[in-house]
Structure 1
């Protein structure tokens, strides 16, 4: 029997809050029934912290800096591993690509009103976890050929 490597997708998203503690959420055309954090699939060989910055910029026009991972989630049906970051604003204004994103805006989101915006339970738990998170999971990107080279590290002390 020939070994077949697992076929799984890795996705990333990020929670970004403004100075009013509002959360930047968006609606896509293919999931317009719910709001969600900006993000998307990681490309082959792409570091997770770079992927979340790229996806966030593509979907919102905003440059972010990831500060830590708030959760890791797995969709057993679709074989998708999702990593959620908390991020800080760096630059830019909301500017969407209308062929992919229907709407993006900051929302005053909390436990009592979240169901009005986020209708999918897995998106709701990820968003609430990220909003409540005070400490983060360490994250590193390494290059190990030919020598060990640390490319990036996120760690909240």
Structure 2
């Protein structure tokens, strides 16, 4: 049985996804700037265009996971703050999710350990997408010809 403190802890961890999302948004905007900047200066580099497209696609995927993580963070926080019994809160939550079409009726009544595992899995997916964005940007910086010529 999960405790209120565990619910608070999971909600707090999931709220860290907002920081990841902000960093990813910056990298996504960098990708947009790299892509559009080529047309502004009139020189188009296919590798830079590929990097730009990859950053934009990864940024949009990360944004999707960030929205889901934020939604789960709010739900876990609401569950932790409620004064009802956990069973009542769970039933009410499941009914709301089912009526909104966000959860199939067959998944109602899942254990909170399963829900916690699923929510943290979403956070891991979000962080992996951000990590790929960072690796792409760092790889581009380290492989850039202007860096090699200045050393």
* Superposition TM-score tier, normalisation by shorter sequence: under 0.3
Tell me: higher relative CO, structure 1 or 2? Use CA pairs within 8 A at least 6 residues apart.
Answer: 2
Larger Rg: 2
Structure-1-length-normalised TM-score: 0.24
More helix by share: 2
Structure-2-length-normalised TM-score: 0.24
